[in-house]
A and B are shown apart, each in its own frame.
Chain A
């Protein structure tokens, strides 16, 4: 089964309820991607972990389905923290890629 390319972008202010905005997006896009409930739940936990570590910052988020995988990009992530926590995040998602000042999480069914 092939999934058409879908992209949703959001710019979140520091005061926005970021977890409450981002986790439903992960749920809906994960479902559309054909991920299992457990994969979606793990992705949601990864997003929660990232956002809760550094709350109250302006953040860009991008959810994209393409090439048979879900690609979640978040800005506003402390690179030192990310380096320490990457082994943990890699258990929750298929791949973790550090971006300058952010991170990409890739999940494939």
Chain B
């Protein structure tokens, strides 16, 4: 068997190990990124594995795989360092969004935020881009008592969206936000009002939930 064929056989055989280890980081970074990092660790382990020592390959490879996944998590969740002026703009834009949403009763547009903050459109867009790229929130920032939804509503959403029992894999808070958005079809603003949190916070909870749901979908075969 050639090196390439052996490598492919190893990746196929060890994929369940990598997938299982990746689940430990669910909701923190996209599963696809974790699995890719895990495969790098797997190949590193294969390069130095000595079968003569009698150690099972899975046990030998696990620290390599976990090391690469942890590096991936650290890299993707590290705070984004931005110049002070950009950070100031980001705070001004966030405040303007909350203020305008309350006054207008709807989500504002970019020109409206520009008028409110006296920032030009490019500065507003840069601030928004950073908001969207921000790390998922700590999910325990939302009070549990605000999140009551009947299990029946959750089951309805699972059926409607063909998610099986996949919603069970989400943190309770992220699950509630996903159910409110996709089951009850509440807007982000309406969810924010119900939960007493900002629209940005809802957006991050949704993004964290969708990341887990997307990574749990059966993988599609890449194009030949």
Contacts and interface: CB of A to CB of B under 8 A. Distances in A.
B217 A91 contact: no
Contacts of A28: 125
A45 interface: yes
A78 interface: yes
Nearest to A41: B203
Contacts of B79: none
A23 B109 CA distance: 17
A52 interface: yes
B108 A58 contact: no
Contacts of B97: 37
Contacts of B128: 27, 37, 40
A53 B188 contact: no
B132 A27 contact: yes
A72 to B, nearest CB: 16
B125 A27 contact: yes
A31 B206 contact: no
Interface in B3-47: 30, 32
**B interface: dominant SS:** helix
For the side of the interface on A, what is the size category? 35 or more
Interface residues of B, number: 40
A2 to B, nearest CB: 15
B182 interface: yes
Indicate the member of A14, A27, A41, A54 with the most B CB atoms within 10 Å: A41
A78 B214 CA distance: 13
A55 B111 CA distance: 34
Contacts of A14: 222
A52 B125 contact: no
B207 interface: yes
A27 B210 CA distance: 19
A5 interface: no
Interface string B180-207: 0110010111000000000100010011
11 contacts: A27-B129, A31-B124, A36-B107, A37-B107, A37-B108, A38-B188, A45-B210, A52-B214, A57-B223, A81-B218, A91-B185
Interface of B: 30, 32, 97, 106-111, 113, 121, 124-125, 128-129, 132, 160-162, 181-182, 185, 187-189, 199, 203, 206-207, 210-211, 214-215, 217-223
